[in-house]
Amino acid sequence: MTQITWTGLLLLALCASASAQAQDRIYRCGNAYTNTVTQEQAKKCKLVEGGNITVVQGTRPAKAPTAASAASSGPRVNTAEQKSRDSDARLILQSELEKAEERQEELLKEYNNGEPEKSVDEARNPQRYLDRVAELKAKLARNESDMAGIRRELDRLPAGQAGR
């Protein structure tokens, strides 16, 4: 009886190892992975050796809309309404440009060609003065950049609205 038990255990261990070995074999057939391959597929599939493979099932990603389809999918605006929008945009941009130009004039006066007037605190602490001069210079450059951007936006608007 003992011999049968050992033989049964040995047979059971061999079956378990054979099934484990069969499960460890993974084949790559194009972009698909499988652990069962027919004779015909075996010629086209390659046995993947070493490492574990994780395959996540999912759906294909949706295609991003192209510029043409995205533009055509939106609601159309009639010509009169578009002209009104362009006119409003031009007025807003012109107002912003005027504000930026006024701010530029103020900054230029305060900057005084790189030599703004010193305050009492700055007379005692020259580094504060230098920091303020650098800050004014940066503000001038930023404001000039803002004005250039506004001018570019104005140039992009249709020319027919310039009289309003």
* CA within 13 Å, CB half, 75: 4
Question: What are the strands of the beta sheet with 32-34, ordered from one edge?
Answer: 32-34, 26-29, 46-48
In whole angstroms, what is the distance from residue 113 CA to residue 105 CA? 12
pLDDT of residue 20: 47
Tokens of 34: 């499988």
Can you spell out the DSSP letters for 113-156? TT-PPPPHHHHH-HHHHHHHHHHHHHHHHHHHHHHHHHHHHHHH
Largest distance between two CA atoms of the chain? 110
In whole angstroms, what is the distance from residue 100 CA to residue 140 CA? 10
| Nearest to 31, CA basis, from 18, 48, 19 | 48
pLDDT in tens, 137-161: 999 999 999 999 999 999 999 875 4
In whole angstroms, what is the distance from residue 110 CA to residue 135 CA? 11
DSSP SS3 for 70: helix
Query: How far does CA 110 lie from the centroid of its chain?
Result: 40
In whole angstroms, what is the distance from residue 39 CA to residue 45 CA? 10
Which of 7-16, 19-28, 107-116 is most confident? Answer: 107-116
What is the value of pTM for the model shown? Answer: 0.50
Strands (E), the chain: 26-29, 32-34, 46-48
pLDDT in tens, 25-48: 777 888 777 778 787 777 788 877
pLDDT of residue 36: 80
Do 45 and 29 contact (CB within 8 A), yes or no?
A: yes
